[in-house]
Structure 1
Amino acid sequence: MRNLNILIIDDEINLVRSLAFTLRQTGFECREAHNGRVGCQLAEKEQPDVVLLDIRMPGMNGLEVLEWFRTELPDVPVIMMSAFDDTQDAVTAMKMGAVDYVAKPFDVDELILLLKETETRRRLDSEVRYLRERTTDFDFIGNSVGIKQLRADIDRIAESNAQTILLRGETGVGKAVVARELHRKISAEDAPFVEVNCATLPERQIDLELFGAERGSQPGHFMRQRGLVDIADGGTLFLDEIGEMPTAVQAKLLHFLETHTYRVPGQKTERRVDVRVVAATNKDLARAVEESQFRQDLFFRLNVVPLDIPPLRTREKDIELLAMYFAARFARTSSGKPISFEGRTRDFFQSYAWPGNVRELKNLIERLSIIYPGEVITVDLLPTEIQMVKPQDALSIEESMETVERDLIREALMRCSGKKGLAAERLGISRHALKRKMHRLGLS
């Protein structure tokens, strides 16, 4: 993790130089400015992590400088300093957005502790801004073989301290939850977790979001923007829907993954950060490479530590547990009694394919909890698509065998990145036999 960059703005030259020397000895990086105007110019260029700002200065005073920061660089925390016992200035500064206030002469050890605490708050604030409304969809509920294996795989990867991890699985299986769990097990408690969905941003915007930009480096870009890569320094950058990343940005990401350095547009030098990258996809990236939709070298770089997340339809034992968990969760939200499920409803839940996986189940339980709070959910209250399925206990032996066979083939193909030859070998059959079975079972 890089050292904190502190900007000291104070007209007392000897104090500034002495304080900067002490902070550098402690491991901080420091910039010095001896008047407000120069301080603003340095801040605009360097964008420090924390600012130490004197209140009483000739020309542009500290409160005027603070007002400039709140307008131009609102994310940069400012600590006010003053040799005058002026309570009114302190109150005014705090109301204007200063994060703290210290009186001169101050204890340097206490100031260093305050700087570190301020940076911790800044990191947490940055994480909250980018992750608001992105709460965990579900805990690791379940006792199925698939979920037990997933827990074991997460522990194994956490122990390896891998820096690049690829999560593979269908839409709605909980890739973001797994990414957060990996982050929790590997990273420090206060380390940032930053998420970006590659499918929701156009090419120019995703480049800007990831790597930032200097003021004026792009048309219509008037403010310096800090990239998510920098915000995630010391923690985890989660790239969801990596298969949708524009090819032009893929080359830049590959360079970053290999070197942990990047260059902000508008700057000449590269920056180094300590970031773990967890990427996720519901696409077959190997096939995307064959179709020239994804860079082969980036695929190889991402696929060093792959982790497959099982679909809900292969976790029959977990469906009822998850349904009950969500029912209790949404009952707490509405301060009511949780819904329950009659036996036939549970049978239909077990037989339904859940194409939207855990997310679909969660959304259904939320809807039922809102419409039928505290009631027993019967089959006739379920959506039509679930009512149309045939409960598993009514299936013929042939139909049951086909269901098992279909799921095994899907699982093998997912684990082998869609390569039929490897999947056939994993299943213990020939490639031609696998193709015949896929055709018979309606698998593409």
Structure 2
Amino acid sequence: MIAAGGEDEFVRLYDLATGKLLDERAAHHDWVRSVAFGRSGLLASGSGDRSVQLWDTAEGRLTPVQRIDDLGARVRAVALPDGDVVVAATEDATLHVCTGARAASSVGMPPGVDWVRGVGCLADGTVIAACEDGGLRRWNRASGLQTISEGENTVWSTQFAADGHLAVIGDAVGTLQVFEAPTNNRRRLLSAGRGRVWSLAANSARIAAAGGDGTVRVWLFDGGEPALFNEDAERSWAVAMPRTTDLLAVSTGNGHIRCWDLGGGTSQLLWEQDVRAGRLRSLAFDDTGELLAVCGGDGTVRVWQARTGQHASRFTSSGGWARTVALDGPGDRAAVGAGTGEIAVRSLREDRFTAHLAGHNGRILMLGFAAGDKLVSAAADGTVRLWSLAEQRQLAEVRVDATLHCAAFDPATSRILAGSAAGVVALSLNSD
């Protein structure tokens, strides 16, 4: 038998020889991120709803046996080493060893490790954790946590600032480095708290970072301590600031959007909305800060008047869950990139799609409108691509790495910053 889970929250059981669907059940309230068989025939499913469900798979049926709730964070990986013992890895980089309906023991990964992507178990009960920094860790009750192989201090976010003259890089341990873009001389070193720098935003006066502790920090270029936002949030997924106005937008882990006015020496919360659309992984302003766009796990793009929170537009892309969104400078068009690698461009004035672009083989991480009716994209397939919107075709492609984690585009200088476990690569549309 084969077990499968996915974003529709179902667990399914298939016959390996025929491909026939034997059974399907929905017991979770978020994506099923991991499924694993045990030696006794039990099946475990781990979900973003912070739970693990145990199933009896006898005779090709899914029969609920035991549920483990309240694991503290979304479950990314599960394993069944023996009997009814369950090992679950959660998004707070913690391994939970569970017996019965509760976690009997828990161990946290070292600083700088955000997620555990996979877990495996040896016959003696040793747990092997494959971590998102590329490292492997081993844990058992006798010897505790040990490192098998070191990972990398991965680049997780990039951004341009000061009209393209500065490059900002955020890493896995909450550090921001600010470089002069032409010379690569480091200007500043900033701390965004513990954990990964999930998202960066910048304009001519400020830098904003969403850190692993959920807090958003905003620095002025002329120095001083950062202003703190979203301190009550467990996770802040994305931050955005327009190029020319003093606005800040943040998406939280529980599906909320908040927008502040940073001008006048004080910070005022202008509005907040509960979007209830899954993970809101990307926010984008137009150049003047009149419009704010957001996309999320339900595949829908929502556009608001940035200062009032009044609805301006809403549409759904055909490519599944939406990973990134961009607005052109005047706010006439929106581009949305899907988890499947598809890209769609929509006219907000005419309320219709004007382009569909296919070619990427991984989730879209970055989109940017370029001069000459062109679009720049970067995806987890390790490529950066340039598209003609008028002709709806690819013009150029650069393979940067085996995989990418982030990218940024500055239309003023036509520069691109692409980041991965290998570091940062700088590209230019004006070079060969």
Q: TM-score range by the shorter chain?
A: under 0.3
Larger radius of gyration: 1
More helix per residue: 1
**Greater length-normalized contact order (CA 8 Å, ≥ 6 residues apart):** 1
More strand per residue: 2
